[in-house]
Amino acid sequence: APGLAPTGPLPASVDFGLIPRPEPRQFDVVVFSDPQARGLTEVNYVARDVVPELVGVNAAFGVTLGDIVADDPGLFREISEAVGHIGIPWYWLFGNHDGNRSAKEDRHADETFERYFGPSTYAFSHGGAFFIAYRNMELKPEGGFNYIFRDDDLAFTRNCLAHVPKEQLVVLMMHVPLPGTKQREALYEMIADRPHTFSMSGHTHEQAHVFLDAKRGWKGAEPHHHYIAGTVSGGWWVGERDETGIPVALMNDGGPNGYAILSIDGADYRLWYKAARRPADYQMNVYAPDGVSQAEAAGTEVRANFFAGSKRCRLEMTLDGGKTWLPMEQFTGTDPEAARMNGMNPHRLGGVWGWDVDEPSRTDHLWRATLPEGLAEGTHLITVRATDQFGAVHHGHRVLRVGGTAE
């Protein structure tokens, strides 16, 4: 794809109008990561799967945390025009699949990105919060990228923060997760004495909350919260097609594809996840057998995948609307539905779905508990209650049959 064409002699001035816009301290941000479209077919998936439900959304702006496309910058115009119909300002970050494949030097890797979206490292303020967007990678001579905060990124950060009050919320945005980026300790030092910081990334095609502490090189008084966002493409637009022909596209951790909403109120923030074309209260999958014999019921395991869960969440289970809530144990494992999808074919699934599905990842947003003793024969309702790290409460349900034919 073409990079930056010569613009000719500089004019005497470049004039443009400014339109005033109120910026309340309380506002929402739509957070996309990894739309990662391969060809117009997958640009159309983005346009059909997430854009329509966001038209008219009451958000200040949106951001895409990199991997806008899958190694084809020639699609930048089509995908940005589709997302533009949401109707709010939109910021774009550079990902490792957004570079010019013909580039031999790092300075040319993001030329097409810059042509469409502007600088690949930049900063802005909104409503009392300060945002820094990074291109946290550099092109290697042999191809591919090193994931690093370059010296000029660090100098840019230092110069920006010199003008940002200590009590202001600072949001760092990048494509590759912070814990996997070289020279991160230098960045940590710049923000460690700030009481209100938050960062987010994409890249992994699974959702996670990382709380950086001294063991990870963080020197702040409280752990730093880094959010690895769920992806628009889920698991690279792979999976069974739904009734509209769009792949189910589970992420590697078993969560549905979608996006996040970041809600900011002064120096405070909250996050919640929205699965594409699903109700807003769809926040978990509850797994249990459809039916068990009465003898097998006691001790049968119930599992829950709370898509945006973390170690700061609490999950509990009850049956049939009871008032006694049983605590659920958090554990690290693979999601049953992700494992089922991966095992649908003994061979890699490229010939079935057009692209190989990843192996299911091990995730920590899984919880489990066992059914209590004494369940009567009949049909029972399992309810799981999740309290997230921000205090919001979510519910998931599963119907279980005890006795009769347990198939």
Domain with 393 in it: what CATH number?
A: 2.60.40.650
- Catalogue the long-range contacts made by 143-148 (C-beta closer than 8 Å, 24 or more residues apart): 144/96, 145/96, 145/99, 145/109, 146/182, 147/96, 147/176, 147/180, 147/181, 147/182, 148/181, 148/182, 148/183
Domain with 48 in it: what CATH number?
A: 3.60.21.10
Q: Is the pLDDT of residue 311 over 90?
A: yes
Tell me, yes or no, whether 191 and 305 share the same domain: no
Q: What is the pLDDT of residues 254-267, one digit of tens each?
A: 999 999 999 999 99
Q: What is the pLDDT of residues 115-171, one digit of tens each?
A: 999 999 999 999 999 999 999 999 888 878 999 999 999 999 999 999 999 999 999
Give me the domain span that covers residue 315. Answer: 284-402
Helix/strand/coil (H/E/C) assignment for every residue in 6-63:
CCCCCCCCCCCCCCCCCCCCEEEEEEECCCCECHHHHHHHHHHHCHHHHCCCCCCEEE
Residue finishing a domain among 216, 244, 275: 275
Rounded to the nearest angstrom, the gap between the alpha carbon of residue 190 and the centroid of all alpha carbons in its chain is 25
The reported pLDDT for the residue numbered 347 is: 52
Full-prediction pTM beyond 0.85?
yes
Residue finishing a domain among 275, 305, 328: 275
Tell me, yes or no, whether 248 and 313 share the same domain: no
For 147, the token pair is 């994931």
**Residue 1 placed within a domain:** no
Q: For 64-91, what is the mean pLDDT?
A: 97
Residue finishing a domain among 220, 248, 275: 275
Q: What is the pLDDT of residues 180-230, one digit of tens each?
A: 999 999 999 999 999 999 999 999 999 999 999 999 999 999 999 999 999
Q: Tell me if 47 sits within 8 A of 41, measured CB to CB.
A: no
Tell me, yes or no, whether 262 and 376 share the same domain: no
Q: Which residue has the higher pLDDT, 299 or 64?
A: 64
Tell me, yes or no, whether 295 and 262 share the same domain: no
- Overall number of domains in the chain: 2
